[in-house]
Amino acid sequence: MSNSPAFIPFTRPSFNQETIDAVSEVLRSGWVTSGPKVAEFEATLSKYFGGRPVRCFANGTATMKIALQVIGIGGGDEVITTPISWVATSNVVLSVGAKPVFVDVDPITRNIDLNKVAAAITPKTRAIMPVYLAGLPVNMDQLYALAKQYDLRIIEDAAQAFGSQWQGKKIGSFGDLVSFSFQANKNLTTVEGGCLVLNNADEAKLAEKFRLQGLTRQGMDGMDVDVLGGKDNLTDINAVIGLQQLKQLPAYQTRRAALARQYFDVIRAELKSAGLDSLKLELPVENYTDSNWHMYQVVLPLDQLDCDRAQIMTELKDLGVGTGVHYPAITSFTLYKEQGYKTSDTPVAQRIGRSILTLPLFPGMADEDIGRIASGFIGILKKHRKN
């Protein structure tokens, strides 16, 4: 074991000394929870998103829940979303008393199939909540055309898409409500955190209220609570981490895209040299302009293999390579099955949920890591190829 190379997790955050120093400074300052650093982070993010109002929250889940509350979604309402996402996406819809309606995904992008959205719209539909899996946005023109045609709000679950673009414009710099997560695995992290890009000052005020117990203050000593809010504020400790990460983001982006390019090259070369040209391994969309390369995900050709995904993951782990599953179809979870959802209603999502695999991708990886991962991975596929 001592001779084997270091274990490569599927992701790992990078924090430089400047970030560690900035955190220490906040700790020494005497003001550690929401304060001047959160305000600075929000102002910096607002600038980043072209001047749109931005408010920060304790995590991406709270951010999305508050987005729903800001536009008044609740009991009796339906929200159209994708079954291939982190379960937070639909959990927040349930948590405000509304009903998630799952539309199947596109097999190539693995994002919600916008061509199938119209058929899922009912008089109760209030919003569409697309998810940009691995940082690849949906067709934004088509998304906002649907919103206009059917008079729906959009809450973009852009948790994975910080730094992604659409036709040269940053995701978040246009559109309706756009929600980001700064959880530790995301491209820009505050350890835990999130932010919402809003349309105007009224929405921002409402978001602030929902963020802290529904509270508004008047004058020196006046307080009132007129809506039920939660405790979802970001701290200054988290905010300074975000401010430092923003400075490093361009370098992270470049590195992620370069590593993704290497994956395509090395995987294709390894498949060829292993004589596996007919193996239907599905690679991601090769998009270096819009995607932020949050993850590098393949869809395994389980029909052509004599084992399941867990076996492939185990053998990769034995080679010192961590992998992840992002994600099983949400409708496969007990909570959702109990509410009557069926995985068979979204067959593409069902297949992808069972066979998608996340390979390691993070800025701190070495070039040699990609070769080692890809050759190990293709070797395992070759071994398990049926006849």
Ligand X SMILES: *Cc1c(COP(=O)(O)O)cnc(C)c1O
Residues identified as active-site: 186
Closer to ligand X by Cβ: residue 82 or 262:
82
CA angle, corner 62, sides to 55 and 291, nearest 5? Answer: 75
Question: Cα dist. 363→66, 166, 360, 366 in Å?
Answer: 31, 22, 10, 8
Place of tokens 């980001």: 180
Q: Which helix (H) or strand (E) holds 301?
A: none
Chain center to CA of 146? 22
Question: Cα dist. 317→7, 65, 231, 324, 353 in Å?
Answer: 8, 36, 39, 11, 20
Provide the Cα torsion 59, 60, 66, 67; round to 10°. Answer: 160
Query: Is residue 308 packed enough to be buried (19+ CB in 10 Å), middle (13-18) or exposed (0-12)?
Result: middle
Q: Give the nearest residue (CB) to ligand X.
A: 60
Task: Point out which residues bind ligand X (CB under 6 A).
Answer: 59-61, 85-86, 88-89, 131, 157, 159-160, 181, 183, 194
Place of tokens 């179809």: 329
Encoded tokens for 275: 């004589």
CA distance 344 to 323: 26
Q: List, in sequence order, every residue forming a beta bridge with 282; answer none if it has no partner.
A: 299
**Which has the closest alpha carbon to 162: 188, 126, 196, 127?**
188
Closer to ligand X by Cβ: residue 61 or 350:
61
Report, in angstroms and rounded to the nearest whole number, the Rg of the chain calculated over CA atoms: 22
CA distance 302 to 323: 17
DSSP designation for 85: S
Where on the phi/psi map is residue 275: left (φ > 0), alpha (ψ -120 to 50), or beta? left
Helical ranges in the chain per DSSP H: 17-29, 36-48, 60-70, 88-95, 140-150, 201-211, 236-273, 309-318, 334-338, 347-355, 367-384
